[in-house]
Chain A
Amino acid sequence: MMGKRVGMNGDRAVAFAAKQAKVDVISAYPITPQTIIVETLAEYVNNGELDAAFIPVESEHSALSAAIGASLAGARVFTATSSQGLALMWEILWIAAGLRAPIVMAMGNRALSPNINIHCSHDDAYAARDTGWLQLFAENVQEAYDLTLLAFKIAEDHRVLLPTIVNLDGFILTHAAEGLYVLDDKDVDSFLPPRKPVNPIDPDNPKTYGPLDFTDWYMEHRKIWYDTYPNVPQVIKEAFAEYEKLTGRRYVQIKTFNAEDADKAIVILGSSAGTARYAARKLKEKGQNMAVISLTQYRPFPRKELRTILEKFDVVAVLDRSLSFGSPGNQLFMDVATSLYNAKKKPLLVNVVYGLGGRDFTPRHVEQVYQLMEEVQKRGEAPEEPVWVGLREA
Chain B
Amino acid sequence: MSKSTPFVLKTWKEMPIGGIISEPKTSLYNKTGNWRALKPVLNKDKCIRCLLCWTHCPEPAIIRLDDDYVSIDYDYCKGCGICANVCPVHAIEMVMEE
Interface residues, chain A, CB within 8 Å of chain B? Answer: 98-100, 161, 198-199, 206-211, 213, 217, 220-221, 223-225, 228
Contacts and interface: CB of A to CB of B under 8 A. Distances in A.
A100 B18 contact: yes
Contacts of A199: 16-18, 20, 22
Contacts of B23: 207
Nearest to A210: B19
Which of B16, B20, B24 has the most chain A CB within a 10 Å cutoff?
B20
B95 interface: no
A199 B16 CA distance: 9
Interface string B1-27: 000000001011101111111111000
B15 A98 contact: no
Interface residues of B, number: 14
B24 A98 contact: no
Contacts of B17: 100, 161, 198-199, 224-225, 228
Which applies to chain A's interface (DSSP): helix, strand, loop or mixed?
loop
B15 A221 contact: yes
Contacts of A228: 17
Contacts of B22: 199, 207
B19 A207 contact: no
Which applies to chain B's interface (DSSP): helix, strand, loop or mixed?
loop
B15 A209 contact: no
A69 to B, nearest CB: 14
Given A220-B12, A223-B12, A211 B21 contact: yes
Nearest to A228: B17
Given A100-B17, A210-B20, A221-B12, 4 more contacts: A100-B18, A210-B19, A217-B15, A225-B17
A263 B24 CA distance: 61
B24 A206 contact: yes
A210 B19 CA distance: 6
A2 to B, nearest CB: 37
Contacts of B11: 220
A319 B5 CA distance: 59
Contacts of A225: 17, 19
A220 B17 CA distance: 11
Contacts of A221: 12, 15, 19
A99 B12 contact: no
A224 B11 CA distance: 11
A162 B24 CA distance: 25
B21 A224 contact: no
B19 A99 contact: yes
Contacts of B19: 98-99, 209-211, 213, 221, 225
Contacts of B24: 206-208
A382 B11 CA distance: 48
Contact of B15 (A99, A207, A224): A224
A207 B17 CA distance: 12
A208 B23 CA distance: 8
Contacts of B21: 207-208, 211
